[in-house]
Amino acid sequence: MKKDIFIGILVGLIANAIGLYFAATLLGQGDDFLTVVKAAADEGFLGKLISLGAILNLVAFFVFIKKKQDYRARGVLLITVFIAVFTFVFKLF
């Protein structure tokens, strides 16, 4: 059970990282990833960029639900909630 939740957390983190990369690439207008992330941090929309990256977690969640791997889906959901809280706190400070 704990192993499946941990796998779900890892999948959620990887999906979020890939989604963040795609969002930065699409919205970055040809700039490289680190330049876009630094510009997003300077301009105050890094939290929004991270939230866009979390969209791939939705895909991972529904794949795990479809395969009846509920504990892995729970891990993806936990990391998604953690990312939401992180972006909220990041936006406050």
pLDDT surpasses 90 at 46: no
Q: Give dist(CA 19, CA 71) in Å, integer.
A: 22
Query: Mean pLDDT, the chain, as a whole number?
Result: 91
Q: Give dist(CA 41, CA 55) in Å, integer.
A: 20
Of 18, 55, 23, the C-alpha closest to 37 is 23
Count CB atoms within 10 A of the CB of residue 24: 23
Tally of structural domains, the chain = 1
Q: Give dist(CA 80, CA 87) in Å, integer.
A: 11
| Residue-wise pLDDT tens digits, 50-90 | 888 889 999 999 999 999 999 999 999 999 999 999 888 88
Domain span holding position 44: 2-92
Q: Tokens representing 89?
A: 């706190």
pLDDT surpasses 80 at 12: yes
